[in-house]
């Protein structure tokens, strides 16, 4: 078996320009490498028995964001708000599987971790496990593929087809600038967790989850009230065991609870939403109300903010969450007029906006999304802007780091 040393000179996401003694250029694709020989202008493909590591220069590495939540808890809505912050519409891969769960825009690729189900719908039924059970998911593959994408290597990711309940042939995912992995388990496996540059958990209380699920599954999917109740109950033990504990690892948690402004409210329409932000996370400064570190309770209703019953109440202050120091911004109630949100925005600091009123502008742009009149949409928008800021800081820090020497010294042994 011949061994040749390949010197990595430069890499551009999934394509690595490599100089070898035979002056070939290589393009990396998992265990398969496409050679381009400049002298003959011919391509040839070789397979290797190990993964070839393309040491990308640091400034081209993908930033990875994890978003965890149970099914029907607003992940897709959050993703639409987040990708909108980066501009450009997010769409499924062009010409691919119409049931793909992936969304691609200029800057971002959102992959759904349901695609790493190792058991299809029938398989889960036969083995009596839910999709939330780690036994129904392939964490080794999830780790390998997220790691590859983070280092600039394209992957063939499986597709879980929610229409048929089957595992479809894989789709090619190229490394984007920002990769979002959303689903049930982005922080479950420690190896995947450590690849995340930032993580978010959507913590929807049982009462609210139930109200949202009923609204969607009855209206849009034709399910009966009994079947929705049964499905929530059946998932609960695994949700408690495998999904909920991930919130302790999240850098930001959006907690959604019933309002405290209406005594004994059981309608679940008015919400109390808490944005729990971990302190000391690199490239992330928590948002604050008035001043950092203060403890504040604020009722903004009056001449500058129209509030109908039951009104709006904000609070902000330091706290601890699973032993970590956090800042918590809370909003109970709902907005009557979105254009007046600028009044609230002007009292918040460290928003990472690019101009005065950007949060309000984003909220107005997506006024028809669920949660636009309350803290869910407001805090999701704020977190979206924070992620943009985090990405820009990571890119800036890498651009200023001395990378040239590292890139020239990298070498990979190829066994063929
Ligand atoms: N902030 C919100 N306020 C009110 N309802 C909401 C909110 N977010 C989501 N919902 C409701 O929950 C439903 C599910 O939202 P969404 O599709 O974003 O969740 P999801 O986590 O992506 O779901 P799934 O994983 O099942 O596809 C929506 O159709 C809507 O009815
Ligand atoms: O928890 C879920 C995440 O979305 C789904 O229930 C899981 O992916 C299985 O999907 P389906 O119900 O379509 O077979």
**DSSP string of 354-397?**
SSTTHHHHHHHHTTTSTTTTBHHHHHHHHHHHHHHHHHHHHHHH
Q: Is a pLDDT exceeding 80 seen at residue 181?
A: yes
Distance from Cα 75 to the centre of ligand 1, integer Å: 7
Question: Residue 114: which pLDDT band, with cuts at 50, 70 and 90?
Answer: very high
Q: What is the pLDDT of residue 278?
A: 98
Look at the block and give the residue holding tokens 């302790």: 248
Distance from Cα 406 to the centre of ligand 1, integer Å: 45
Question: Residue 45: which pLDDT band, with cuts at 50, 70 and 90?
Answer: low
In ligand 2, the atom with minimum distance to the C-alpha of 132 is 1
Q: Give the length of the chain.
A: 416
Q: Is a pLDDT exceeding 90 seen at residue 216?
A: no
Residue 196 has a CB neighbour count (10 Å cut-off) of 22
Ligand 2 pocket test: which of 67, 71, 163 has the largest number of ligand atoms within 8 Å of its C-beta? 71
C-alpha closest to that of 363 among 331, 336, 338: 338
Q: Is a pLDDT exceeding 70 seen at residue 404?
A: no
Q: Is a pLDDT exceeding 80 seen at residue 258?
A: yes
C-alpha closest to that of 340 among 314, 325, 359: 359
Question: Residue 84: which pLDDT band, with cuts at 50, 70 and 90?
Answer: very high
When pLDDT is averaged across residues 331-351 and rounded to a whole number, the result is 95
What is the b/e burial string over 120-157, where b = at least 16 CB atoms within 10 angstroms of the residue's CB? bbeebeeeebbbbbbebbbbeebbbbbbbbbbbbbbeb
Q: Is the CB of 72 under 6 A from ligand 1?
A: yes
Token digits of residue 24: 């070939």
Ligand 1 pocket test: which of 131, 132, 182, 216 has the largest number of ligand atoms within 8 Å of its C-beta? 216
Quick check: 336 and 310 in contact, CB under 8 A? Answer: no
Look at the block and give the residue holding tokens 């049982």: 206
Distances (CA, A) of 237 to 213, 217, 227: 18, 21, 17
The Cα 267–Cα 209 span in angstroms is: 12
According to DSSP, the residues that pair with 252 across neighbouring strands are 200, 277
Q: Is a pLDDT exceeding 50 seen at residue 141?
A: yes
Quick check: 81 and 358 in contact, CB under 8 A? Answer: no
More confident residue, 329 or 411: 329
Distance from Cα 36 to the centre of ligand 1, integer Å: 47
Q: Which of 242-256, 266-280, 313-327 comes out lowest in average pLDDT?
A: 266-280
């Amino acid at each position: 078996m011949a061994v040749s040393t390949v010197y990595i000179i430069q890499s551009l996401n999934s394509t690595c320009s490599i100089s070898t003694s035979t002056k070939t250029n290589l393009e990396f694709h998992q265990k398969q490498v496409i050679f381009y020989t400049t002298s003959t202008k011919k391509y040839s493909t070789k397979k290797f028995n190990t993964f070839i590591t393309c040491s990308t220069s640091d400034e081209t590495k993908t930033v990875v964001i994890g978003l965890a939540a149970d099914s029907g808890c607003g992940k897709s809505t959050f993703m639409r708000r987040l990708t909108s912050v980066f501009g450009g519409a997010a769409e499924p891969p062009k010409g691919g599987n119409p049931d793909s769960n992936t969304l691609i825009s200029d800057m971002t690729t959102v992959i759904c971790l349901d695609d790493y189900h190792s058991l299809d719908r029938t398989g889960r039924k036969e083995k009596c496990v839910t999709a939330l059970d780690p036994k129904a998911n392939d964490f080794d593959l999830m780790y390998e593929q997220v790691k590859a994408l983070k280092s600039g290597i394209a992957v063939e990711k499986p597709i879980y087809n929610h229409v048929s309940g089957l595992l479809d042939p894989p789709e090619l995912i190229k490394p984007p600038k920002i990769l979002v992995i959303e689903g049930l388990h982005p922080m479950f496996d420690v190896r995947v967790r450590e690849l995340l540059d930032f993580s978010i958990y959507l913590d929807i209380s049982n009462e609210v989850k139930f109200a949202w699920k009923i609204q969607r599954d009855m209206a849009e999917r034709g399910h009966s009230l009994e079947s929705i109740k049964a499905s929530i109950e059946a998932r609960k033990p695994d949700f408690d065991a495998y999904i909920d504990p991930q919130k302790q690892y999240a850098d930001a948690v959006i907690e959604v609870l019933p309002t405290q402004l209406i005594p004994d409210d059981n309608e679940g329409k008015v919400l109390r939403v808490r944005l729990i932000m971990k302190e000391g996370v690199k490239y992330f400064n928590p948002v604050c109300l008035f001043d950092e570190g203060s403890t504040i309770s604020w009722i903004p209703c009056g001449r500058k903010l129209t509030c109908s019953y039951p009104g709006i109440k904000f609070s902000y202050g330091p706290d601890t969450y699973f032993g970590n120091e956090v800042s918590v911004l809370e909003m109970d109630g709902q907005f009557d007029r979105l254009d007046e949100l600028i009044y609230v925005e002007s009292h918040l600091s460290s928003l990472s906006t690019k101009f005065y009123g950007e949060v309000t502008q984003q909220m107005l742009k997506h006024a028809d999304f669920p949660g636009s009149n309350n803290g869910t949409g407001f805090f999701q928008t704020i977190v979206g802007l924070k992620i943009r800021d985090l990405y820009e800081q990571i890119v800036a820090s890498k651009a200023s780091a001395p990378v040239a020497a590292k890139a020239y010294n990298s070498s990979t042994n190829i066994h063929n």
